[in-house]
Amino acid sequence: MSAASGRIGASSWRERSVLPGFGLSFGILVTALSLIVLIPLAALVLKAASAGPEAIWALASSPRVQAALRLSFGAALLAASINLVFGLLIAWVLVRYDFPGRRFVDAAVDLPFALPTAVAGIALAAIYAPNGWIGSLLAPFGIRIGYTAAGVLVALIFIGLPFVVRTVQPVLAEMEAELEEAAALLGASRWRIIWSVILPPVLPAAMTGFVLAFARAVGEYGSVIFIAGNVPMVSEIAPLLIVIRLEQFDYAGAAVVGVLMLLLSFLLILFFNLLQAGLRRRLGHV
């Protein structure tokens, strides 16, 4: 009996396992994560704090910073919302309908993940500039997209496009046809079926996609700066402010803007996640 006693409680924070390599793999993970992600982010917070409360407040309340944050977050929310609607539509079309080139379109949806943002940036700028393919069509009507806040929106729609499609698609694909058939047998109209049978189970997944698209869009830089025109107070995004501060060697200022961005976006993501959790509970998901 005594032989066993020495082996108990070797480590209580993890369950013992015969698989070798926990120490090594955990060590590599934590070291890499700390060196590459955590310590640098801690330095960001530290630097921002070193600016002192007055400086932080002055920066946070400066009209230019506020305008940039408003633009970044507002455009990101709007872009994610547009992607929510069209993402649902595209997922629906890809899962439910068959048409020539469907598989090709399906694969192409991921393009924004694969296409470097700078490439997307100059491409969008060329299309929506006043003399571009689409820009020149809109110019006679007095509509300008390139070099305005609308250009920011266009870029953010592009980079956030795949998220909702990819989160909703599997849920739609797995949905049992019987649900719809049962509803139809109960006499529900097609629109009623879409509204009260199909949409509820899809919504939490769509919400996940929405949050991912939003998180990506808030911090986006490369695809935006070419098309935005970067006019202060009008089409200047928050990440660009960081770059400008850095170019002026105002490290603390850059760090403060960075922390403001992270704080705001984490708060919003948290809010959306809580909303989504509530949604899931209401709709009877586990």
Partner 1 sequence: MSVALQIEKAARQFGGFAALKGVSLAIEPGELLALLGPSGSGKTTLLRLIAGLDHVDGGRILFDGIDGEALSLRDRRIGMVFQNYALFRHLTVAGNVAFGLKARPRAERPSGAEIERRVRELLDLVQLQGLERRYPSQLSGGQRQRAALARALAIEPRVLLLDEPFGALDAKVRKDLRAWLRELHKRTGHTTVFVTHDQDEALELADRVAILNQGQLEQVGTPDAVYDHPATPFVCGFLGETNRLPVEVRGGQAWIEDRPVYAASQTNLSGRADLYVRPQHLKLDRPDAALLGGVVELVRRHGAIRRAEIAVRGLAKRLDVDIGGGVAPARGERVGLRITKAHLFAAT
Partner 2 sequence: MREGALARRLLIGLALTFLTLFLALPLAIVFVEALTRGWQAYRAALADPDSIAAIRLTLIVAAIAAPINIVAGIAGAWAIAKYEFRGKSLLTSLIDLPFSVSPVIAGLVYVLLFGAQGYFGPFLKSQGLQIIFALPGIVLATLFVTFPFIARELIPHMQSLGNADEEAALTLGASPWRTFLMVTLPNIKWSLLYGVLLCNARAMGEFGAVAVVSGKIRGLTTTMPLQIEILYNEYMGVAAFAVASLLALLALVTLAAKTFLEWRYADEIAAMRRH
- Which residues of this protein are in contact with partner 1, per CB under 8 A? 1, 3-5, 7-8, 15-16, 18
Report residue 166 as tokens.
């990819």
Pick 10 or 114: Cβ nearer partner 1: 10
Which listed residue (57, 64, 74, 113) binds partner 2 by CB under 8 A?
Answer: 113
Which listed residue (51, 65, 75, 218) binds partner 2 by CB under 8 A?
Answer: 218
74 binds partner 2 (CB under 8 A): no
Q: Which of residues 171-190 bind partner 2 (CB under 8 A)?
A: 180-181, 184, 190
CB of 281 to partner 2, least distance (A): 19
Taking the C-alpha atoms of residue 211 and residue 218, their distance in angstroms, rounded to an integer, is 11
242 binds partner 2 (CB under 8 A): yes
Stretch that binds partner 2, among 57-65, 144-152, 154-162, 276-284 (CB under 8 A): 154-162
Which listed residue (62, 219, 234, 280) binds partner 2 by CB under 8 A?
Answer: 219
Q: What is the dihedral of CA 120, 122, 124, 127, to 10 degrees?
A: -140
Taking the C-alpha atoms of residue 27 and residue 21, their distance in angstroms, rounded to an integer, is 10
Report residue 155 as tokens.
């870029």
Residue 10's contacts (CB-CB under 8 Å, 6 or more residues apart) are 16
Q: Binding pattern to partner 2, positions 25-54, x when CB under 8 A?
A: xxxxxx-xx--xxxxxx-xx-xx-------
Please check whether residue 234 is in contact with residue 148, taking contact to mean a CB–CB distance below 8 angstroms.
Answer: yes
